[in-house]
Chains A and B, each alone.
Chain A
């Protein structure tokens, strides 16, 4: 069985500050891990994914995430936040080769001037 926990339903940072969105997962088999982003009135789009290659994964728009097996974590970071519309970020886990993906509850990211 798999599950995902995202710590914090809302995160607010100042422009230029570090963005850190936390995700912990549970999986009985080696997982694939994903971060997706959703902008207002749009579907989700992939930010990055981990598939058992490098543990530090780089994605689009300067985002990256590190897979830490010992901590069962896959936190999303961005060194310097950029002002934009508020977005919701979802962490997700699937079993290698499986059909189903389990999504976290989401974290809404606000970047203020």
Chain B
């Protein structure tokens, strides 16, 4: 069974903290994605990666960075967390079929 795991289900951080969200997939997928999900806005793409050490900006990259040192792992970094980054963060991966497989999400609250 395909599996995408995220390091935390719930996270509470303070304004200005550096935040790391980790995502691991076990399907040997080339492509990995980070989205944020907000009510009424659907999913918005932050960054994606189509290969190790490769990254591309999505629609809302400001305030975020990513790292992909290994094929199975894709990290999202909030350099200095702000309250407007309070959201649900979803990681996904895909192979040649275009179908994306999602992790359970991390609900981040920034106080």
Taking a contact as CB atoms under 8 Å apart, the answer to whether A43 and B104 are in contact is yes
Bound-complex Cα distance A100 to B32 (A)? 10
**Binary contact readout B32-71 vs A (1 if CB under 8 angstroms, 0 otherwise):** 0001000011110100101000001010000000000000
Interchain CB contact under 8 A, B56 and A99:
yes
Q: Which residues of A contact B43 (CB under 8 A)?
A: 44, 90, 103
Complex CA gap A21/B31 in Å reads 29
Q: Is the pair B98, A101 in contact by a Cβ cutoff of 8 Å?
A: yes
Q: B40, A32: Cβ atoms under 8 Å?
A: no
Residues of B within 8 A of A98 (CB): 98
Which of A45-53, A64-72, A79-87 forms contacts with chain B?
Answer: A45-53
Report the interface size for chain B: residues with CB under 8 A from the other chain: 23
Q: Is A105 positioned at the interface, with any CB of B under 8 Å from its CB?
A: yes
Contact between A43 and B48, CB atoms less than 8 A apart: no
Q: How far is the CA of A42 from the CA of B101 in the complex (A)?
A: 12
Nearest-CB distance from B16 to chain A (Å)?
Answer: 28
Residues of B within 8 A of A44 (CB): 43, 90, 92, 100, 102
Which residues in window 27-69 of A have CB below 8 A to B? 32, 34, 36, 41-46, 49, 51
Q: How far is A99 from B42 in the complex, measured between Cα atoms in Å? A: 18
Assess whether B99 is in contact with A43, with CB atoms less than 8 Å apart. no
Compute how far the CA of A99 lies from the CA of B58 in the bound complex, rounded to whole angstroms: 11
Known: A100-B48, A105-B41, A106-B42. 12 other contacts (CB 8 A): A41-B9, A43-B102, A44-B92, A44-B100, A45-B102, A51-B98, A90-B43, A98-B98, A99-B56, A100-B58, A101-B98, A101-B100
